[in-house]
Amino acid sequence: MEDQLPARYRRRFEAEQANRQAVWRVLIDAWFSRYLDVSAALDLGCGWGAFVNQIDVPTRYGIDLNPEAKRHVAPDVELISQPASQRWPLPDGSLDLVFTSNFLEHLASREDIAATLSEAFRCLRRDGRMVCLGPNIRYAHGAYWDFFDHLIPLTERSLVEALELTGFEPELVVARFLPFTTVGKRAPRPVLMRAYLRFPPAWRVLGRQFLVVVRKPATDPEGPGE
């Protein structure tokens, strides 16, 4: 599967890269900017950098196995080219934010997801956040499997359970947030995207992706936070 990663990514996104950049620009400005007043952020499964390239954060990291990622991420983004389930080459408590979008469902096993979440927990400072966006199989139904490399079905509840078992505390859990996918579709107009994000009742009709935001506790049973 890893050998096919560049081809899969080009097939899905190459013709739509400009649209993806524009969509993420609006998503960042209109929604995710609230989490970006930080010093160090990591984009888990960063792909070609649609998110991490466009955030105004002093220290930016990306993790991705796609060998073509290095040609697309910004020069000042430190790219970590390794499986996300392996130990990240970052010190404990060195990140303020871990962001991931449409990535965890591509991992090979639940054990890989658990190991990845554990690395996020280790590398986040006390009170740091992890923001997770992904397709919710409860609402995507059979379309979830339209992507050959979707391996692990997730809902907001199963992900929250995995995050809590890792040690995180939930801050925001939205079962239906964004539509399922923009692959093969015309990019929505920015004004419509902004209106959608400001009107949660629309999420309950069109939303097929969950949004889960968790925090690493400020203290632990062994002593005060950092």
In tens, the pLDDT along 183-208 reads 555 667 899 999 999 999 999 999 99
Assess contact for 120 and 130: CB atoms under 8 A: yes
**Residue-wise pLDDT tens digits, 131-172:** 999 999 999 988 999 888 899 999 999 999 999 999 999 999
State the pLDDT at residue 72.
Answer: 93
Rounded-to-integer distance, Cα 107 and Cα 150, Å: 8
Model confidence at 128: pLDDT above 80 = yes
Fold (CATH) for 2-215: Rossmann fold (3.40.50)
Tell me the CA distances in angstroms from 103 to 45, 92, 116, one per residue in order: 6, 23, 11
State the pLDDT at residue 147.
Answer: 86
By mean pLDDT, which of 36-50, 194-208, 211-225 is the weakest?
A: 211-225
**Residue-wise pLDDT tens digits, 5-38:** 555 555 454 556 678 888 999 999 999 999 999 9
The count of other CB atoms within 10 Å of the CB of residue 4 is 11
In which residue are the tokens 């658990």 written? Answer: 114
Rounded-to-integer distance, Cα 98 and Cα 166, Å: 14
What is the enclosing helix (H) or strand (E) of 135? strand 124-135
State the pLDDT at residue 38.
Answer: 98
If you average pLDDT over residues 121-137, what whole number do you get? 98
Rounded-to-integer distance, Cα 81 and Cα 72, Å: 13
Assess contact for 47 and 28: CB atoms under 8 A: no
In this structure, which amino acid lies at residue 197? L
What does pTM read for this prediction? 0.88
**Domain spans of the chain, in order of start:** 2-215
State the pLDDT at residue 110.
Answer: 97
How many Cα atoms sit within 13 Å of 138 on the Cβ side? 14
Assess contact for 94 and 58: CB atoms under 8 A: no
